[in-house]
Every structure is written in structure tokens, then in C-alpha cells.
């Protein structure tokens, strides 16, 4: 599949999202400027096209907005991956962002797992609570049904660390979702299914 549309409405958020394999075009409106920035980077570095609107209960905080967008984006990635036939399955990236150095590795395994080893020097970037970065990726992997490892190898600027995470994961996903002609429409697994 080359495009996925997800609509999710709860008492806390109202989200409409379309994710496609593309050229990095982003039209993102979450109500949270920092999250918009991170998702725009993710879109560009992953080679996706992403249209996203979210009306969330930001008067409370950005938790529900961030988590629910992670849910929707994860579902969209699962739809793009489909049955995973002919896909590379694995992807990784060690990405420098100034003083920050972030490793990420993805397996389109069908099993939801997040290994997260990143420490944020500050509790907020602007008004965005930095603990929400882990919440976003946890929601994402549950719905995408992938294994994702994120490791901070260096960094002391919180903005750079988070930006490095979003860029690194985007590159890893792009590689994992890339067609591999040598697989000839099969799944890269001795089980023949993921």
C-alpha cells in the first residue's frame, strides 16, 4: 500500500491523518508547535508525505495529543507495510545532530517493542513536556507492531536530542519499508510470515 488514512475521534482528541510514500511534504497542524516541528522533520527525512490535523485537549496539556498522534501514525505505518512481502524489513541509522548522536533500529517484526534509552537534560522544550517523546514512540510501536530501539549515544541539548530521535527513526523506517527486489514478493523470515 502506498497511502493510509486514519481518522480517530475520542473525548480527548479529534485526528485526521494521511501518510503516503512520497517526497517529504508535510501539512501538519497539531496545536503544539514543537510536535509539528518534529513531525515535519520525520516526514522529510522518512520520505513520506503527511497531512495531519489534530484538535486536542491542549488546555490540559499535550499528553493526549502526542500519544494519540503516535497511535494514528503507527496505524498508518502498519497499513503502509501491509503483509511486508518484498520489504527490506530492517533499517537502522546513527544520526548526528550537532553534539547529539542518536541510534535507532527498526524491525517490521509484527511484535510491538520499544527499547528507549534517552535522557532529557530539561523537562520541557518550550511548553512541550519532554517525557512525552517516549510516550509518543510507545504508542507508535504498539500500533505499527514493530520493534524499535532508540539509543542516545551523546547529547546535552534537549532540542537536539529529540530532533535527532525523530530524524533517526524516520531514516530507519524508510530503509525498513524499502522494497528489496531480491525477496521477489516474499517475507524476509524463515517463518514466511510476519
Q: Which CATH number applies to 3-183: 3.30.870.10, 3.60.21.10, 3.30.230.40, 3.50.50.60?
A: 3.30.230.40
Distances (CA, A) of 182 to 38, 85, 89, 172, 173: 34, 11, 13, 20, 19
Strand order in the sheet with 3-9: 3-9, 13-21, 48-56, 26-29
For the question of whether the overall pTM of this predicted structure is more than 0.75, the answer is: yes
Q: Is 60 exposed, middle or buried (0-12, 13-18, 19+ CB in 10 A)?
A: exposed
DSSP run (H or E) holding 30: none
Conformational region of residue 111, where left means phi above 0, alpha means psi within -120 to 50, and beta covers everything else: beta
In the chain, where the domains are located: 3-183
pLDDT in tens, the chain (194 residues): 799 999 999 999 999 999 999 999 999 999 999 999 999 999 999 999 999 999 999 999 999 999 999 999 999 999 999 999 999 999 999 999 999 999 999 999 999 999 999 999 999 999 999 999 999 999 999 999 999 999 999 999 999 999 999 999 999 999 999 999 999 889 999 988 88
Amino acid at each position: 500500500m502506498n497511502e493510509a488514512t486514519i481518522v480517530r475521534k475520542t473525548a480527548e482528541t479529534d485526528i485526521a491523518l494521511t501518510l503516503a510514500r512520497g517526497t517529504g511534504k508535510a501539512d501538519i497542524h497539531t496545536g503544539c508547535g514543537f510536535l509539528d516541528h518534529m513531525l515535519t522533520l520525520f516526514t522529510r527525512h522518512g520520505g513520506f508525505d503527511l497531512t495531519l490535523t489534530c484538535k486536542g485537549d491542549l488546555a490540559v496539556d499535550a499528553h493526549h495529543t502526542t500519544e494519540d498522534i503516535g497511535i494514528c501514525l503507527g496505524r498508518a505505518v502498519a497499513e503502509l507495510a501491509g503483509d511486508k512481502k518484498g520489504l527490506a524489513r530492517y533499517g537502522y541509522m546513527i544520526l548526528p545532530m550537532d553534539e547529539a548522536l542518536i541510534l535507532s533500529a527498526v524491525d517490521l517484526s509484527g511484535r510491538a517493542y520499544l527499547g528507549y534509552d534517552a535522557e532529557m537534560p530539561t523537562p520541557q522544550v518550550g511548553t512541550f513536556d519532554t517525557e512525552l517523546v517516549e510516550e509518543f514512540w510507545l504508542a507508535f510501536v504498539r500500533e505499527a507492531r514493530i520493534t524499535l530501539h532508540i539509543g542516545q549515544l551523546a547529547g546535552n541539548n534537549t532540542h537536539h536530542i529529540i530532533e535527532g530521535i525523530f530524524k533517526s527513526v524516520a531514516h530507519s523506517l524508510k530503509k525498513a519499508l524499502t522494497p528489496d527486489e531480491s525477496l521477489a514478493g516474499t517475507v524476509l523470515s524463515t517463518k514466511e510470515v510476519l
